Structure 1
Amino acid sequence: MLNIEDLVLTVVDPETGQETEILHGSTLALRQGEALGLVGESGSGKSMTLKCILGIEPSGARVEGRVELDGTDLLAASGDVLRRIRANDLALIAQNPHGALNPVLPVERFLIEGMSDARNLPKAEARERAAELLRQVGITDTDRVLASYPHQLSGGMLQRVVIAGAISGEPKLLLADEPTTALDVTTQAEVVAILDEMRREHGLSMIFVTHDLDLAAAVCDRLAVMKDGEILEVGTPEEIRDHPKTDYTRALMAARPMLYPEGHEANRGADRGGDHGTNEEADA
């Protein structure tokens, strides 16, 4: 479905001409309907990987390698082909929902214009579809939300709106770039559950970017651990949790927050994966 081979991203300082390599030959494969968690600390190259998939890397950057979606090499595709693919096959959920919507336009315009442009739906039909999408992501008072401006909605409500917009075009691949970072813990859990439900209901493939291993394990079939622009290892949540291959992955595991001090009896289950990523959670 998606194949990334030897992806190298080099950015150039416009003033000095100095080149800096950000991604160092990343290779990944994503199957249809699969969710892959891209995990690692800030600055490891996770978001830049998504930008390369979308073709929105920094101005003047040089991208080498291959990013193939259903047989089309996105790095070699023309502008028209890329625009069609972005409209029909790819969707992005950014980490800041406020930045995804125009602050001077109501939610209705955000959802309806996207569907009208991509699907050529009449306005009335697009509005009905927008209300249905909002219901799918857990919003019941659809008339109020459609008429609201972004500043009138909470962060969690806005992220639901952004998710509804992302799935409105029925994409093949959903790119979620730390979509819960700006949300409180309770809302994080709700948004992750919505993403998982939408993915399974619509048969979407998804790349879920986060620095939180436990969060990724709850929603993803496989995890790819990334550091300093390189993918260090790929495996199921259980494999990464129980048999990490690198010191960096072990350090990420050790950095997970615990409710009790190290060595406390309550943490013994967590050390075996009992509280922070059971099989049931990984399969959820």
Structure 2
Amino acid sequence: MLNVRDLALAVTDPVTGDETAILHGNSFELAQGEALGLVGESGSGKSMTLRCILGIEPEGARVSGDIALDGVDLRGISGERLRRLRADDLALIAQNPHGALNPVLPVGRFLIEGMSDARSLGREAAATRAAELLSDVGIADTERVLRSYPHQLSGGMLQRVIIAGAISGQPKLLLADEPTTALDVTTQAEVVAILDEKRREFGLSMLFVTHDLDLAAAVCDRLAVMKDGRIVEIGTPEHLRDHPESDYTRSLMDARPQLYPAGHHAPDPGPPHIADAEGTGS
């Protein structure tokens, strides 16, 4: 479905004229309905890979290689055709939901106008669909949320709104750029579960960018480990966990926080705690 071959990107310093390579000839494929995680430390080229797929790389950047979506050369189209493909087939879920929404407009405008423009729905039909989408991503008070401004909602709630907008047109490919970075751990789990559920429900493909190996393993079929602009290894989460081929992958595995390191065991929790009738404990 998505085929990336020898993708390279370099940027030029506007002051010195020096060119710096950011991506170094990476290749990977993504099948229909598959989720591929791009994992690695900050600056490894994960988000820049997504920007190349969307065609929004930095101004003046030099890009080479091939990117094809269902046989369409994304590097070879522009103008209205590219805009239409982005609206119909690609959806971006950014890491900062506040940055994706206009702070002076209610969030309902984000969903309703997006579907009215991109899906050619009437405003009444779009409003009904917007409420259904919010319900689908676990928001109960849909009317209140549609009327709310971004600053009136939590980060987790806003990220659900962004996911609702992303799946509204059932795109072929979801591009999730560290969508849980700004969220607490509990909310991260909820948002990732919703994203994975909707991806599977609609049969969408997904590129999931994160520095968190465990998070990527929970939601992705395969992982591509990136270091310094290069993909150093691709495999299933189980294969990378049990048989990492790259020293860098091993270092990422070893760097994961562990509550009880090897040789140490969880303490005996003792007898189970029983709450009293008012829930304050005995």
TM superposition score category, shorter chain reference = over 0.9
CA distance in 2, matches of 1:198, 1:42: 28
Shift of 1:261: 3.7
- CA RMSD of the aligned region, Å? 0.8
Who is 2:74 aligned against?
74
Who is 2:232 aligned against?
232
Shift of 1:218: 0.4
The letter of the residue matching 1:21 is A
**Structure index of larger Rg:** 2
Who is 2:209 aligned against?
209
Secondary structure (helix, strand or coil) at the match of 2:47 reads helix
CA distance in 1, matches of 2:245, 2:67: 26
Who is 2:110 aligned against?
110
CA distance in 2, matches of 1:17, 1:179: 34
1:176-225: CA deviation from partner (whole Å, max 9, x where unpaired):
00000000000000001001001001110000000011000001000000
Secondary structure (helix, strand or coil) at the match of 1:75 reads helix
CA distance in 2, matches of 1:263, 1:176: 37
Who is 1:155 aligned against?
155
The letter of the residue matching 2:169 is G
Give the alignment of 1:92-111 within 5 angstroms.
92-111=92-111
Who is 2:251 aligned against?
251
CA distance in 2, matches of 1:33, 1:78: 26
Who is 1:63 aligned against?
63
Secondary structure (helix, strand or coil) at the match of 2:76 reads coil
The letter of the residue matching 2:202 is H
Q: Which runs of 5+ in 2 are unaligned?
A: 267-282
1:20-71: CA deviation from partner (whole Å, max 9, x where unpaired):
1100001010000000011000000000000000000001101100000010
Identical counterparts, % of pairs: 79
Q: Which runs of 5+ in 1 are unaligned?
A: 267-284
CA distance in 2, matches of 1:250, 1:263: 19
What count of residue pairs does the alignment treat as equivalent?
266
Question: What is the TM-score of this pair, normalised by structure 2?
Answer: 0.93
CA distance in 2, matches of 1:16, 1:95: 32
Who is 1:7 aligned against?
7
The letter of the residue matching 1:87 is A
Give the alignment of 1:73-222 within 5 angstroms.
73-222=73-222
The letter of the residue matching 1:197 is E
1:61-110: CA deviation from partner (whole Å, max 9, x where unpaired):
01100000010111111222210110000000000000000000001100
CA distance in 1, matches of 2:261, 2:240: 23
Who is 1:39 aligned against?
39
CA distance in 2, matches of 1:236, 1:252: 15
